[in-house]
Amino acid sequence: MSWRRVFAGRVDQIPAARHFAMYLFAETAIADEVGFVVTELASNAVRHTLSGQGGSFSVELVNNGLAYVAVSDLGGGGYPTVRPDPIDGSNREHGRGLLAISKLAVSLGVHGSPEEGHTVWADLAGVCNRPAQPPVEVAPAI
Ligand SMILES: Nc1ncnc2c1ncn2[C@@H]1O[C@H](COP(=O)(O)OP(=O)(O)O)[C@@H](O)[C@H]1O
Ligand SMILES: [Mg+2]
């Protein structure tokens, strides 16, 4: 199954994109992870590209055993870059989103260019449906 939806490149559309993704993966064990990845990638599209300057971004989701999560933006100059952890172990406010996705995902990649825009995508494992509720234990008859 696959879905694609276009969102206006506004900050208020980031939670809308997350809800869309989590709804589609609600029956799986990784709805939260899918929501996190969409939030980070959509935030990047809005914050770092022309998508966030009156443009739009699109979200593509595929559930085929792996979860494929991709966000396409309008480009505008920069490159999506995984920033490594600081060597001194210090915390930093920015530059953690793609690093966090790279640790969560089976693989993470980028298509495109600053001119035509990028598609940043991640494959997540563990999409299998949530196990059914365990049967209620019945006390043995005495
Ligand atoms: N879609 C994108 N297009 C262009 N540059 C991007 C995009 N996503 C991320 N980047 C670049 O990669 C860097 C790292 O992204 P990220 O780890 O999400 O950190 P942050 O968004 O907090 O800066 C960003 O600072 C930005 O320079
Ligand atoms: Mg970011």
* Rounded distance from Cα 81 to ligand 1 centre (Å): 6
State whether the beta carbon of 44 lies less than 6 angstroms from ligand 1. Answer: yes
The pLDDT value recorded for residue 75 is: 98
* DSSP strands (E only) in 9-116: 56-63, 67-72, 107-113
Q: For domain 2-124, give the fold.
A: Heat Shock Protein 90 (3.30.565)
* Rounded distance from Cα 33 to ligand 1 centre (Å): 19
Nearest atom of ligand 1 to the alpha carbon of 95: 19
By the 8 A CB rule, do 71 and 23 touch? Answer: no
* Rounded distance from Cα 135 to ligand 2 centre (Å): 42
The pLDDT value recorded for residue 129 is: 59
Residue 139: half-sphere exposure toward Cβ, Cα within 13 Å = 2
Which regions of the chain are under pLDDT 70? 129-138, 142
In the chain, what are the domain boundaries? 2-124
By the 8 A CB rule, do 141 and 101 touch? Answer: no
pLDDT tens string 51-72? 999 999 999 999 998 999 999 9
